[in-house]
Amino acid sequence: MRHAPSFTSGPLRRAALSPLQHGLDFSRPGIITPGLLRLSAIVLSAAGMALMLISLRPFVSSSLVSETGGDGGSIVNQIGFLAAGLVFAVAMMCLASRKVLASLLTPSYLMLAVILAYSVAKAPDPDSMIRAVVLTVIGMFIAFSTIALPRSERDFQIALLAGAAAALAMSYGGLVVVPDLATHGYDAYEPQHAGLWRGHFSHKNVAGPVMCVIAIFGIYLMRTGHRLGGLIIFLAGALFVLKTGSKTTSGFFPLSIMIVMMAGLFGRSGAAILAFLVTLAGVAAATLGSLYSGRISYLIEDLLGDRTYTGRTTLWEFSLSKIPEQPWTGFGLYNFWSTDNVFLLDKPFESAWDYRFIVHGHNNYLDIVLNLGIIGGAVLLWVLFIGPMFNYAKARKIPGNRKIADMFFMIIVFAALLSFLETFFLARNDSLWLMHVFAVFGLHLAARFRLGEDPFPR
């Protein structure tokens, strides 16, 4: 049997570093002890996780017509995330392996960088586009750093537990201390949401999915020895999901768990991937397919009590009608919804929603093509969904990586299913987007490095 390659050697062996840390060489190693290095990496990773899950402006409410995708226009967020990005950049230069950083130079990531640069160059307002793209890239870098900085999988688990606990404490604490902010009040646009939990998040449609991800963290922690802490995180996250009142999110959550667990049940990653693709096709038929099939539409109404998915079908029909106007390159990143491309249209009296004042189309796939076109959209779909499937198959071939790969793929599966109802791609510092890209980078690293315990100790 061929052993997975070991990347730990030399004087670093005594520091018990993970393969991610191979290549570190300080000119005066005695200045900083291995213990202090390890603690610094755990603290930074936990802080990064908490920052992604909590943001710099918690308890800022919004409705479906005023969501801002992470409040990226806030001065507090702009300055705060720039400062955080600088801290993590310095930390990565000092604490992370050059091999890890070099692993990002893949064709798909480089093509994505070209697409972002093209979007900036062609933007009607380059200054605001640069700010938006910079915030998005910084968020992605922080997501990558939270995985790459810890010295071992055990340290990563500690950081993950601490970050998730901080987010749960913020949301549950908000329900006690500031219940008016932590729950939905009356909204003229969404009166049906009054009383539903949203915690420190801007909306229940963000709170529910992110809490699902936190519950997935709990499953991983339980499987890797943190039984009590993992169980508490799982139960707290799952309860919060139920209290957000989101039927689809509550349904996709256990479905994502069952899909990924099939890899362990059948002993093959292909079983989970096949189940994922079949489920993805089924959800596509149940959502976008309902626009073309009356039978599916009435079936959805029987199951959910609403064939329009809370008015989303109006947005999907409109999105599909606009894609042919700019099929190849799209309207530009962040340049369709909330712009004159929509504002200047006549009021749609015949539609359930006035889509002129909606900030996104509540469908990741349609909005990706609307913004980036077929060319850019194909690259982004590869980076966010297709590439991670291949990385998951590779990661599970490394025995020590199987549990952590399952966690990351569970998040990808959940995000892919939710993408038929929500939009969060490249959404600056939005928590749901950051959790998605966190899983993308996690599988990228798990496919290339051994993250878990070495099953062949030397």
Round to whole Å and give the CA distance between 370 and 327.
8
Q: What is the pLDDT of residue 347?
A: 85
Angle at 229 between CA 227 and CA 234, to 5 degrees: 90
pLDDT digits (tens, 9 = 90+) for 73-107: 578 888 999 999 999 999 998 888 888 999 999 99
Residue 195 has pLDDT above 70, yes or no: yes
Q: What is the pLDDT of residue 451?
A: 85
Ramachandran angles phi, psi of 334, nearest 5°: 60, 25
Least confident range from 212-221, 353-362, 369-378: namely 353-362
pLDDT digits (tens, 9 = 90+) for 210-263: 999 999 999 999 999 999 999 999 999 999 999 998 888 899 999 999 999 999
Using alpha carbons, list the distances in angstroms from residue 158 to 13, 38, 39, 84, 154: 21, 11, 11, 21, 6
Residue 291 has pLDDT above 70, yes or no: yes
Cα 395 off chain centre by: 19
pLDDT digits (tens, 9 = 90+) for 403-432: 999 999 999 999 999 999 999 999 989 999
Residue 71 has pLDDT above 70, yes or no: no
Q: What is the pLDDT of residue 17?
A: 47
Q: What is the pLDDT of residue 65?
A: 52
Residue 13 has pLDDT above 60, yes or no: no
Average pLDDT, the chain: 88
Residue 441 has pLDDT above 50, yes or no: yes
Residue 326 has pLDDT above 90, yes or no: yes
Mean pLDDT of 117-128: 92
Cα torsion through 433, 435, 439, 444, rounded to 10: 60
